[in-house]
Structure 1
Amino acid sequence: MFHNLNISQSLERRYVLAVGLIAFVLIASFFVFNQHVARGADDSKVINMSGKQRMLSQRIALLSHMIAYHNITDEARQDYISKLSSALETLKQNHKYLSGEETLNGFNIQISEETKRLIFAPEGLNENLDKFFNLALQIKETFKISGVDVSKGSKEVDQLVALALDKVLFQLDQVVTQYEKEALGRVQQSKDLHVILFIIGLVILTLEITFIFEPMTYLIAKSMKEIEDKNFKLKISNQELDDFAYIASHDLKEPLRGLANNASFLQEDYGEQLDQGAQKRLNRMIHLCARMEKLIDDLLYFSRLGRHELAIRETDLNEVIKDIISLMENTIEEENVQIHIPQKLPTIICDKTKITELYRNLITNAIKYNDKDTKIIEIGFSIQEDKTLLFYVKDNGIGIDPVFYESVFRIFKRLNEEDEKIRGSGVGLTFVKKIVERHNGRIWVDSNLGEYTTFYFTLNMDQQNV
């Protein structure tokens, strides 16, 4: 038993460890997934903004060219200049975000060393964008005055377009490509980490199967084998008990009958020669032999009571009580017994013969242990909150001391000095308790000395119908 307990504790520790590892893998996977999603969103923002910078550069070059070279009205030129100003402002602000100078709604771009080189190196994107921005500002300032000679800004426009085509757009493409490359690298890292976590999960599952489930299967199989062995031993023990019961009912009772018969023969053959004391001793011997035979019969019955199958069927308890009253009619009249049934008793699922014996024993005890002139017995039931039925048999007898509430159900236990005429074997309540337990119920007693005794019990064989 202790060996199995140690194995169970070891398996429990392994199980807790395995659950902890699985929880760690799940939590780690969750965080990796969240970081992957968040980083993917950030990368999308960066790549999208870089693409917008490229389109803004083209738009600025196009607007500058239209302002300088197209034959348009001053009103149209001023509209283009306004659009150019807006595009320049957006270009400048986006560049601050992309170069890490400022944050966008709390989002700070993480720039790699290679990206920094493309942006901040001499003749890099940062420097060329400044030139591009300044040229565009010059064009804007030149043409914002109505009626200006368009030839005055043509040089700056040519330089701006050339700078856009030769350097700015190319370098923006390089930066976007670098961001995309880094984003793909992070995606691959996330995939690799997910694969690693998946492999760890498989390893943990394999370890669980090897070090937990297989030993657990072994332990269960071993426990089942032990249960089978115990059942086999119990079967043998029950057979030995049956054998003992047979011996008790035949071999032990036979000498008692011989002893009682010989005592009877002595009375018949030599009764006139025996004095009153000898006659009394012979009568006592015959009585004790009969009592001993009754005890053996009761012990035999008790040994078989817990092992015989119950004959379960629907039973009307009103019919049961009616039969018992009919059989005990003479005793009830002689003892001046009144039996009260406050309400109609239910029909229940039970072994009718055993329940009849249960009520007969309780009614018999209620009559036997009652010193009142009018002996009152109440038989009833109540419905509990959980819809189960609680039965009871109550009398106005001598009562039971609370210290004996448990021992009253022990076999051959008698609590009172009884009259010889009503002396029992002390097994009635033991039989009652065994019958109740066979019906998956329980029984208990409530009493007040000199006033009353109530036996409560439940019966739970399948379903009880009121």
Structure 2
Amino acid sequence: MPAGVDNQEHIDAVIKSEKLGKRLCSRYSLALGLVACVLFMTYFTMTIQLGNNQADARQINISGMQRMLSQRIAMLALEVSNPLKSDDPLELSHKMQDAIELMQSNHKELIDHHTDSPMSPEIRELYYGADGVDKLVMAYTNIATRYLVTFRSHGSEAVMASPALTDIVEMANNVMLGPLNAVVYRYQEEAEQKVQRFKLLETVFLCLGLVTLTLELLFIFRPMARDIVSKTKSLEQSNAELIEFSYRISHDLRAPVVSSFGLAETAEKSIRQDDTRVAFTSLGYIKDAMIKLDALIDDIINLTRMKMSDLMFEEVDIEKSVSEALEKMKALQNYDKINIAVEIKGGQTIKTAKIYFQQSLENLISNAIKYADVETIEPKIEISITLADKKCKVLVTDNGLGIEEKFHPKLFKMFERFHTNVSFGSGLGLYLVKQNVGILDGKVHFVALDKGSEFGFEIPIKATS
């Protein structure tokens, strides 16, 4: 094989390995990216929900505090107007002032909260509807403030008879409590609804995570595992074949060389002794040995090319392929004694990897010619190629020597020869056919006939673009 071709095939093999590595890395990165997206979405949603829960809890606490402050203000107003001997009216008025200011600030906080988070229609109705909490709180705190102004100006006796005291107690007991309770309960109800929605969202994210993992398993990790297993099996098979190949090829390459050395010495001695008959006989044997060696080297080159080549699909003219194959076979012994018939049905062209198709076709025809039974009345070979159902079926039938049943399990294996006394060969022909057809996602075919054999293969036809 030329050095340039060898280097190019090595480069192609390296590129194929790099492509596989990049494909695995990209799939793994995609899987991690999808998991990271789901985790980020979950984290982001939970962070927002936790913030909402804290805000909701504070709203409930503050609205509950408003309910308590409405009662505390009324209680302090009564104590300011009629203090016990141990109580200081002025100190009680300060406590009442603090309660009023806290109620006003709480109310402002509750209103301001809905600037960023819009009120629900129910809450808006409770705050701004007829007799809404907003008006009630403003009115209640204003009355309580006027009450304190009167106390600070005229003392406890003045506020005891003040209508403001009656208004404060009346609002606290009969007006404020109901709406403030309604606000608390509504905040609690909406918070519980948000928690339920959050639980539903948690379930959705759980399902999304499970679906993502399932999709990753089906469309990312399973294809990755399939690629890895396929490559591992291919490497294991290649390693086993390499061991057998190395052993057999070292013997098959060495044998004709060693025999040629011995024959060359015999020829040399015969020439010195003027025994040209023995010399020419020895040279003839040397020539046969070199022919076998050349055929073996050709098969090794074809095997190497098959192992290293990329699939390149192209339009193949079937009739032309058969003609080219037969043209190559004309130099084979007994070719002119065999009647060869060709039948092509269903079409004239297919789209496939030409190098694999052509090599497989040539090997089957070559075997049929090599192992033809020239002693029979009419040696014949029938080549049938049928295109149907998006498949190409190739059959090569002969009435030759056939193959004994005990050898059938060894068909299509490396370095197996079944008629060593009839024809030469490396034993790689049928092995190459099976390997080529396997690469094309096809299957090989063999039937032992009463007289001869039927070999063939079937491959899918690629759609033309």
Q: TM-score, normalised by structure 2?
A: 0.49
Q: Which has the larger radius of gyration?
A: 1
Q: TM-score, normalised by structure 1?
A: 0.49
